[in-house]
Chains A and B, each alone.
Chain A
């Protein structure tokens, strides 16, 4: 067991800020890693009636501290679950409309919230072949809203992704709706620098809140595209001792907290 760091790590900040986006009595479709920790933190702190759903076909797990899953399809992920449906069926629950929030982690992201986890460079003969969609495309296509948690780095934020693995607002405006994606959309991007939404109409990414001690210029320096800025940018409250204690108890080996 490692000692908790004296400073808050990037992943701790993401988990805390992510958790605060969830409300009680919601259902959340979460990936592994930081989104998973954020969902449990919300459940333990302010959203006890939150149901966690995982793409391996797992409903309502109660993960065992120190035995957190690495994948969404293993015994650790299913620990004390309430139901284990087939994978296709758990995604169909999202298509039916049962999943309020999709909670997914980092990838290459563009100004319309499109994600690329497929290929850098050309698709047929890529410079870097990435692992692929997994369930991210389904989560972003089918949940009522999607919250993306990501480290804020210049290489992750791009003007236009090389390949749209998981659709945000596509080319902006109503292009997502016109493609046949009738529901959902990316409501929030939570990064290590602040909170972002999407400007009504254009659907371009917009800075809405800064984490303590972060400036708009710092965000712009890490964001290569023309970032919109809300008229009133608020400042988030730093993670509390209580929030950090819950997270650190869940991941004592700091497998995901960094």
Chain B
């Protein structure tokens, strides 16, 4: 049983939200100011999915503060989960799947940490975790579902079933997950934090509505009028957002729909280094790409303008 009472306590989560300022004012902040809102021991939900729209700039800024005792959740966890493990930042991972993808093999870092019992690895089905965020976004302690029933996944986190009060059928009572903090990366926002996303929405809206504190990076900060011209495209309302940071290429080298493609060769070099040096490979990566660069601009220089432009060209080709 690894589901905590705090994760699904809908009354406490509601009180936290009621006590919070839900301002329609300016939300712009620096990366450092944004992640300063994270406290040791917090549960952070990460938006995007696998290597798409991952809030990597926020994750890097967070790790530079050397946090401890965090839990992280993400529907498909990519290597940012490995960074958090090797950095000693987390005690618990909540996900449905962890790795990069078939060509890169199993996550050696996850294997090392889980097999030696150094981290709690709580596994859900993809929809199961989605419904945890959805239940929280709806302010409920659980949502009934037909998924995960009968599988051994039911006992991993401590899931319970309920008898349907109308039909008597057995349903999975998927517990809510109210994260303390959400990390999200979006295409555009106005300075108040009204956010718009292009392409697949993943689970970002549910995560934004589920979390107590919402930190957003945006590729572009646009005038308020631009949001008002297409309000139907807004997927996160400003009143849910606590801090907004302007970070172009904020999920690079992961992809951002229509703006830049991912960098599979970069993933390959990262994995090759782990094959050679184990967790030491990740530590070297963190030194170079996370702790090293003083600014996001310096970080992007490690990749070079040509690579960024090529990623942008590939993305254009993939959405036309």
Return 28 A-B CB contacts under 8 Å, by A number.
A56-B52, A56-B200, A70-B103, A71-B76, A74-B51, A74-B262, A75-B199, A75-B258, A78-B199, A79-B318, A84-B201, A86-B200, A88-B134, A92-B127, A95-B127, A125-B116, A131-B106, A132-B96, A135-B125, A137-B147, A165-B151, A175-B150, A176-B150, A179-B149, A179-B170, A180-B150, A180-B171, A181-B150
Assess A70 versus B106: contact at CB under 8 Å? Given A137-B148, A138-B147: no
Whether a CB of chain A sits under 8 angstroms from the CB of B212 is: no
Whether a CB of chain A sits under 8 angstroms from the CB of B249 is: no
Q: What is the bound-complex CA distance between A85 and B205, given in angstroms? A: 12
Would you call the interface of chain A mostly helix, strand, loop, or mixed? loop
Whether a CB of chain A sits under 8 angstroms from the CB of B213 is: no
Whether a CB of chain A sits under 8 angstroms from the CB of B153 is: yes
Whether a CB of chain A sits under 8 angstroms from the CB of B34 is: no
* B85-112 interface code vs A (CB 8 A; 1 in, 0 out): 0000000000111110111001100110
Q: What is the bound-complex CA distance between A181 and B145, given in angstroms? A: 10
Assess A33 versus B126: contact at CB under 8 Å? Given A84-B201, A126-B115: no
Assess A180 versus B161: contact at CB under 8 Å? Given A74-B52, A88-B127: yes
Interface centre among A64, A141, A180 (most CB of B within 10 A): A180
Interface members, chain A 18-43 (any B CB < 8 Å): 32-33
- A contact residues around B147 at 8 Å (CB): 91, 95, 137-138, 141-142
Whether a CB of chain A sits under 8 angstroms from the CB of B128 is: yes
Q: What is the bound-complex CA distance between A55 and B318, given in angstroms? A: 19
* B252-264 interface code vs A (CB 8 A; 1 in, 0 out): 0001011001101
Q: Are B170 and A180 in contact (CB under 8 A)?
A: yes
B259, closest chain A residue (CB): A75
Q: Are B151 and A95 in contact (CB under 8 A)?
A: no
* A74-112 interface code vs B (CB 8 A; 1 in, 0 out): 111011000011111001100100000000000000000
A140, closest chain B residue (CB): B151
Q: Are A57 and B200 in contact (CB under 8 A)?
A: yes
Q: How far is the CB of A183 from chain B (nearest CB, A)?
A: 7
Whether a CB of chain A sits under 8 angstroms from the CB of B190 is: no
Taking A124-B117, A180-B149, A182-B146 as given, write out 17 further A-B residue pairs in contact, using a Cβ cutoff of 8 Å, ordered by the A residue number.
Answer: A32-B102, A33-B102, A56-B49, A56-B202, A67-B318, A73-B52, A73-B202, A75-B199, A75-B255, A87-B126, A88-B134, A128-B106, A128-B115, A129-B114, A131-B97, A135-B96, A137-B126
Whether a CB of chain A sits under 8 angstroms from the CB of B156 is: yes
The residue that B117 contacts in the complex, of A125, A136, A180, with Cβ under 8 A, is A125
Whether a CB of chain A sits under 8 angstroms from the CB of B265 is: no
Q: What is the bound-complex CA distance between A79 and B258, given in angstroms? A: 11
Assess A91 versus B102: contact at CB under 8 Å? Given A57-B202, A132-B96: no
Whether a CB of chain B sits under 8 angstroms from the CB of A202 is: no
- B contact residues around A88 at 8 Å (CB): 127, 130-131, 133-134, 203, 206
Whether a CB of chain B sits under 8 angstroms from the CB of A133 is: yes
- A contact residues around B199 at 8 Å (CB): 75, 78, 84
Q: Are B318 and A76 in contact (CB under 8 A)?
A: yes
